[in-house]
Structure 1
Amino acid sequence: MEGARIVVTGANRGIGLAFVQEALARGAAKVYAGVRDTNDITPELAATGAEPVQLEVTSSDDIAAAAAHCSDANVLINNAGLHAGDRLVKASDADAARREMEVNYFGPLATTRAFAPVLAANGGGSIVNVLSVAAIAPTAFMGGYSPAKAAALYLGGIARAELEPDGITVTSLIVGSVDTRMASHVDGNKEDPRTIAVAGFKAMSRGDWTCDTDRMAFESRARLALDPVRYERGLGSCCSSPT
């Protein structure tokens, strides 16, 4: 991490902000904080001293401009995400799942395509994709979010295989329930976002392909392995579980 030049998407708050803070604490030389609107920066992000960069992950223009501006980057943290809070088949908004797929899958795909040549030109580096327990288990009460995160998990595996010859590692983080605005609907214990950032950077440094970042992620994977039918049925209830 010492001397790294890091781009973080969705950096204004939550896990993205935590990655910015942790990167700087670990000696990163530069942190580019990707936000949807550089005129709307949270005080917490401004206090870090990171450089805000216009980076709406569904905008091809923003992505191209960010890749050109952050030309010294050697780490990309794909964190930006969207949970529309709707069902999938019985959705009240038929377009919600499409928006979730655009942000949670096509967004990381586009930023990965744009930044992979940048990282390669700088001698290689790392890409970290912030995912969810919903990526490894069909999570009915999370509608289109779960399929989008599952797609992003496969994206990480394929990108890893393609980019390995360029000296670029790709790590997918399986995240449980975290104390963020996105998870405000979830009951029970929630992890500090900084805990996820610490686990994520450790996994990146080890070159892990995937990493369960917290207790809920570990327990969810174990329960899924032991009794997948019962676990998946439990996830059908909007108030029964995770992430």
Structure 2
Amino acid sequence: MKIAGITAFVTGANGDIGQYYIEALRDLGAARIYAAARKTSALQDIVAGDRDRIIPIALDITDESSVKAAVKECQEVSLLVNNAGIGLRQGFISPQDLSAARGEMEVNYFGTLNMCRAFAPILKNNGGGAIVNMISILGRVNFPFNASYGASKAAAFLMTQGIRAELAAQNTLVVGVLPGTVDTPGSHDFPPPKVSPQAVAREALQGVIDGVEDVYPGEQAKEMEAQLRSEPKALEKAMGAMLSK
């Protein structure tokens, strides 16, 4: 799929990775980019970079009425980038309640599903297009420091596979993006190697251009994906052992 000349829609556009999706889409020649966030005030600096092409949209992906309102405004979209997400660094047993786990699932799984369901008919009407779902390598192997986040991303990973199958007949490419640790303020306490958010956005969009269904940006994600194919149990044990260090 070509990026030049298309209309794209990016959720979580004000986030640590979202702003770089906007930048990469501009560099690749997207004709219009809808930048979505809960509050459009958070998008002022991003929109200022190119007011002719970047359109701010207020959106809560967990609110179906908000999603429907966004869809109504954006009928020409042919690329949906589901970047919005949260990670609350909680385990499964140690938290006092399930609020973090429920919140992560609500945004990372159900919110992303809301967007895919809402935009699938739009993409079909525009020739098929593509969906990019930001997942995480932690959706394939759990990291106990961020356990319930990983579970929500695992749900998103399987959802991406299922949506890919359902939308194949309408010629919609569905890309899952599974980076390792991304070099953002939120990962300050995590050890290297880290992949830059710019590289994540660029590799993801290159996946769209090349028709690659699963993208693993950065050295860490690529190495872990290889371990998952060759020594999955060893990787699981290594990730679990970090809890006791």
TM-score normalised to structure 1 length: 0.93
Paired with 1:187 and 1:42, the residues of 2 have a C-alpha distance of: 32
Paired with 2:46 and 2:35, the residues of 1 have a C-alpha distance of: 12
Give the 3 Å change call, closer, same or farther, for CA 46–103 of structure 1 in structure 2: farther
Q: CA deviation at 1:45?
A: 5.2
Higher mean alpha-carbon deviation, 211-220 vs 102-111, is at 211-220
Do 1:10 and 1:80's aligned partners in 2 also have CA atoms closer than 8 Å?
yes
User: What is residue 189 of structure 1 aligned with on the other side?
Assistant: 193
Structure 2 residue 229 is the aligned partner of structure 1 residue 229: no
Question: Any stretches of 5+ residues in structure 2 without a counterpart?
Answer: none
Please state whether the residue corresponding to 1:39 is helix, strand or coil: helix
User: What is residue 32 of structure 1 aligned with on the other side?
Assistant: 34
Higher mean alpha-carbon deviation, 4-13 vs 35-44, is at 35-44
Please state whether the residue corresponding to 2:141 is helix, strand or coil: coil
User: What is residue 199 of structure 1 aligned with on the other side?
Assistant: 203
Paired with 2:47 and 2:192, the residues of 1 have a C-alpha distance of: 27
The match for 1:215 among 214, 219, 235 is 219
Of Structure 1 and Structure 2, the greater helix share is in 2
The match for 2:117 among 113, 117, 121 is 113
Q: CA deviation at 1:90?
A: 1.8
Q: CA deviation at 1:40?
A: 2.6
Do 1:157 and 1:209's aligned partners in 2 also have CA atoms closer than 8 Å?
no
User: What is residue 74 of structure 2 aligned with on the other side?
Assistant: 70
Question: Any stretches of 5+ residues in structure 1 without a counterpart?
Answer: none
Structure 1 segments of 4 or more deviating over 6 A? none
Higher mean alpha-carbon deviation, 179-188 vs 121-130, is at 179-188
RMSD: 1.7
Paired with 1:196 and 1:106, the residues of 2 have a C-alpha distance of: 23
Give the 3 Å change call, closer, same or farther, for CA 65–131 of structure 1 in structure 2: same
Give the 3 Å change call, closer, same or farther, for CA 108–16 of structure 1 in structure 2: same
How many residues are paired up? Answer: 240
Do 1:12 and 1:45's aligned partners in 2 also have CA atoms closer than 8 Å?
no
Paired with 2:87 and 2:21, the residues of 1 have a C-alpha distance of: 20
Please state whether the residue corresponding to 2:132 is helix, strand or coil: strand
Paired with 1:78 and 1:59, the residues of 2 have a C-alpha distance of: 15
User: What is residue 169 of structure 1 aligned with on the other side?
Assistant: 173
Percent identity of equivalent pairs: 33
Please state whether the residue corresponding to 1:175 is helix, strand or coil: coil
Do 2:79 and 2:130's aligned partners in 1 also have CA atoms closer than 8 Å?
yes
Letter paired with 2:6: A
Q: CA deviation at 1:158?
A: 0.8
